[in-house]
Amino acid sequence: MTDKADGQIMIPEEEKRLESQLCFAVYSAAHAFNRAYKPILDRVGLTYPQYLVMLVLWEKGALSVKTIGEKLDLDSGTLSPLLKRLEQAGLISRARDPKDERQVIISLTEKGTDMKCQVGMIMDAIGQATGCDMAEMANLRDRLQQLKANLAAD
């Protein structure tokens, strides 16, 4: 890219193509991840969003619905049906917070806690699917987290 005399950036035509767009690369990679995760998570009976909820709970323990939503960047309209299905599967329980009846606390059941042992298998399978080693995956993750932070800063 070059600067024009008036200070605007001159973008070459080939950079304007769909395949050249960073946003499309991120978008299509996210869809590819979902497709790669599906058969792996099918084996343990979870969808990808349910897996993310379980990861948060395995890491942090009991949390409010609001906190889970904030961690996963999901609104309650998306999160509530997910939690309902996890509860129906016997993986989580929901209870009103005794300190604040407006809050619902999500906890892992014994069955949900026992599923944590599956994380290593899931991560290994995804690692193989990406073709990246742990260092490469960590580097990509860190760069994407920085990209997200840069975009959120505006």
Report yes or no on 113 lying in a domain: yes
One pLDDT digit (tens) per residue for the chain, 154 residues: 445 556 678 888 888 888 889 999 999 999 999 999 999 999 999 999 999 999 999 999 999 999 999 999 999 899 999 999 999 999 999 999 888 888 999 999 999 999 999 999 999 999 999 999 889 999 999 999 999 999 999 6
pLDDT attached to residue 6: 66
pLDDT attached to residue 12: 85
Report yes or no on 118 lying in a domain: yes
The CA–CA distances, whole Å, from 41 to 25, 30, 35, 85, 128 equal 24, 16, 10, 15, 15
And the tokens for 89? Answer: 């599967």
Phi-psi region at 90: left, alpha or beta (left = phi > 0; alpha = psi -120 to 50):
left
Residues with Cβ within 8 Å of 64's Cβ and at least 6 positions away in sequence, in order, are 97, 103, 104, 105, 106
Report yes or no on 147 lying in a domain: yes
CATH code at position 37: 1.10.10.10
Q: Could you list the residue range(s) of the whole structural domain that residue 37 is in? A: 26-153
pLDDT attached to residue 13: 85
**Integer Cα distance of 10 and 7 in angstroms:** 9
Q: Are 108 and 92 in contact (CB under 8 A)?
A: yes
DSSP sequence for 54-123:
HHHHHHH-SEEHHHHHHHHT--HHHHHHHHHHHHHTTSEEEEEETTEEEEEEEEE-HHHHHGGGGHHHHH
Global pTM reads 0.84
Report yes or no on 123 lying in a domain: yes
Report yes or no on 12 lying in a domain: no
**Domain total for the chain?**
1
Report yes or no on 53 lying in a domain: yes
Report yes or no on 55 lying in a domain: yes
pLDDT attached to residue 98: 87
pLDDT attached to residue 1: 46
**Integer Cα distance of 135 and 151 in angstroms:** 24
Report yes or no on 21 lying in a domain: no
